[in-house]
């Protein structure tokens, strides 16, 4: 708002530039039709003319003294009072007197003498002036009026939202932000990152964890930074009822979003993958830990090496037995799904995905929603993101599986 205020001060000075040429004839400095027959008396016009020159030189405090001299003249006409208030508002703004500027501008607006377009500019200035003065309730009032009167300045919307936020009205701040974000999305535009961050903060202030998480999902969708992913995944894990058995699946999402960096995380994910029967996955994870420098150093370097040796041995054994097909006469599809996922991890994507789909279709699965989640991950690893999204959207489970699937949808959609 500072830049627009500077422009407003300049325009108000230019608006009274007619003083120099019209003092002798006491003509009007403005072009409003109703003012064409009105004039300034010399005892009012001369100090205002001096104030105008001082304002041009950016000597606003000296200009205010001259304006006060004009204001001291008795029996002022409505027109003279209007011009004095107009100049006082501009000079006060230039001098940094926000309160004085706002009061003067309010007087100008209340006069009813301004053309609609010019009045809208001054309403905008009043909103910004009260905001800088930290009088947020009045900033809200004037910003609201500006927008209601047809103003379209994005700066005024920012003033309105920030005034709600800074006055503690986080609900209305969030409401305005949601409206802006939805408008951006409807227009096919990406909402600004700082706007989404602001909305997330407004929800946090209200302890609205649902709204905060939803906004985080938008942040990772539009700005997939690993910090946003880390916060979002962490919050999903902390939801009541989130199942411990999904720890490996959480790590899988953290891995692809760049959120596994600590030695302890590399070690735990490796161990979980071994326990789940996916040693090739375990080897890939621990190898990445060594390559990143997180593993292989420090007091636990020997333990890191032992786990890598174990993963390497089991992965080699697994590759040798990978060609052993599951029993075709099995009553359920559990073995097909597990073997298929293992094929995917080993890079045999088409064969693995087809086997997983066959197992899910056969039914009798111990945890069918988990297996649909794994099928979606299989599609992602195979580079089939559109198919992955379709599968993830079918996952329905209240213990965290559906939450993870929704995050995978965001990841696969980028």
pLDDT at 37: 57
Q: First and final CA of the chain: distance in angstroms?
A: 35
Correct CATH for 208-321 of 1.25.40, 1.20.1540, 1.10.1060, 1.10.3470: 1.25.40
Q: How far apart are CA 185 and CA 138, in angstroms?
A: 31
CA atoms within 13 A of residue 323's CA, in its CB half-sphere: 1
Q: Which CATH architecture has domain 2-149?
A: Alpha Horseshoe (1.25)
Q: Which two tokens stand for residue 263?
A: 């030695």
Q: What is the pTM of this model?
A: 0.79
Largest CA distance in the chain: 109
Each residue's pLDDT tens digit in the chain (414 positions)?
443 444 454 444 444 443 333 333 333 333 343 444 578 999 999 999 999 999 999 999 999 999 999 999 999 999 999 999 999 999 998 998 888 888 999 999 999 898 888 889 989 988 988 898 899 999 999 999 999 999 999 999 999 999 999 999 999 999 999 999 999 999 999 999 999 999 999 999 999 999 999 999 999 999 999 999 999 999 999 999 999 999 999 999 999 999 999 999 999 999 999 999 999 999 999 999 999 999 999 999 999 999 999 999 999 999 998 878 888 788 999 999 999 999 999 999 999 999 999 999 999 999 999 999 999 999 999 999 999 999 999 999 889 999 999 999 999 998
* Neighbouring C-beta atoms of residue 27, cutoff 10 Å: 17
60-96 as b/e: b if 16+ CB within 10 A = bebbbebbebbbeeeebeebbbbbbbbbbbbbbbbbe
Q: How far apart are CA 11 and CA 29, in angstroms?
A: 13
- CA distances 302 to 24, 47, 309, Å, are 97, 87, 11
Q: How far apart are CA 401 and CA 378, in angstroms?
A: 15
pLDDT at 270: 98
* Neighbouring C-beta atoms of residue 104, cutoff 10 Å: 25
Q: In the chain, which segments carry CATH 1.25.40.10?
A: 2-149
**Residue range 327-345, pLDDT digits in tens:** 878 899 999 999 999 999 9
pLDDT at 39: 86
**Residue range 145-162, pLDDT digits in tens:** 999 999 999 999 999 999
Domain 334-413, CATH: 1.25.40
pLDDT at 56: 93
Q: Which two tokens stand for residue 143?
A: 């910003």
């Amino acid at each position: 708002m500072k830049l627009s205020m500077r422009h407003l001060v300049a325009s108000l000075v230019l608006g009274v530039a007619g003083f120099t040429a019209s003092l002798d004839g006491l003509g009007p400095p403005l072009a409003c039709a109703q003012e064409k027959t009105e004039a300034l008396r010399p005892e009012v016009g001369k100090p205002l003319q001096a104030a105008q020159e001082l304002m041009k030189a950016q000597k606003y405090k000296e200009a205010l003294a001259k304006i006060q001299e004009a204001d001291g003249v008795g029996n002022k006409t409505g027109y003279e009072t209007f011009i004095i208030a107009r100049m006082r508002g501009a000079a006060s703004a230039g001098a940094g007197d926000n309160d004085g500027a706002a009061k003067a501008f309010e007087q100008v607006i209340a006069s009813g003498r301004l053309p609609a377009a010019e009045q809208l500019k001054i309403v905008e200035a009043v909103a910004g002036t009260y905001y800088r003065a930290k009088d947020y309730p009045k900033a809200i009032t004037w910003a609201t009026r500006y927008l209601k009167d047809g103003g379209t300045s994005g700066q005024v919307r920012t003033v309105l939202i920030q005034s709600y936020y800074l006055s503690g009205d986080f609900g209305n701040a969030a409401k305005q932000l949601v409206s802006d974000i939805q408008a951006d999305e409807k227009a096919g535009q990406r909402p600004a990152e700082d706007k989404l961050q602001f909305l997330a903060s407004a929800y946090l202030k209200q302890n609205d964890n649902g709204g905060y998480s939803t906004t985080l999902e938008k942040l990772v969708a539009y700005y997939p930074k690993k910090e946003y992913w880390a916060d979002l995944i962490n919050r999903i894990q902390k939801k009541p009822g989130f199942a411990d058995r999904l720890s490996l699946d959480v790590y899988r999402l953290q891995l692809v979003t760049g959120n596994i960096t600590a030695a302890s995380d590399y070690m735990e994910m490796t161990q979980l993958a071994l326990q789940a029967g996916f040693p090739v996955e375990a080897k890939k994870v621990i190898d990445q830990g060594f390559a990143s420098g997180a593993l292989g150093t420090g007091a636990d370097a020997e333990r890191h090496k032992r786990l890598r040796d174990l993963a390497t041995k089991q992965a080699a054994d697994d590759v040798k037995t990978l060609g052993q097909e599951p029993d075709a006469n099995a009553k359920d599809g559990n073995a097909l799904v597990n073997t298929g996922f293992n094929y995917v991890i080993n890079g045999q994507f088409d064969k693995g995905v087809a086997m997983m789909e066959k197992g899910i279709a056969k039914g009798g699965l111990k945890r069918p929603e988990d297996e649909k989640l794994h099928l979606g991950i299989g599609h992602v690893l195979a580079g089939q993101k559109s198919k992955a999204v379709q599968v993830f959207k079918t996952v329905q489970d209240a213990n965290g599986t559906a939450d993870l699937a929704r995050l995978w949808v965001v990841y696969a959609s980028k």
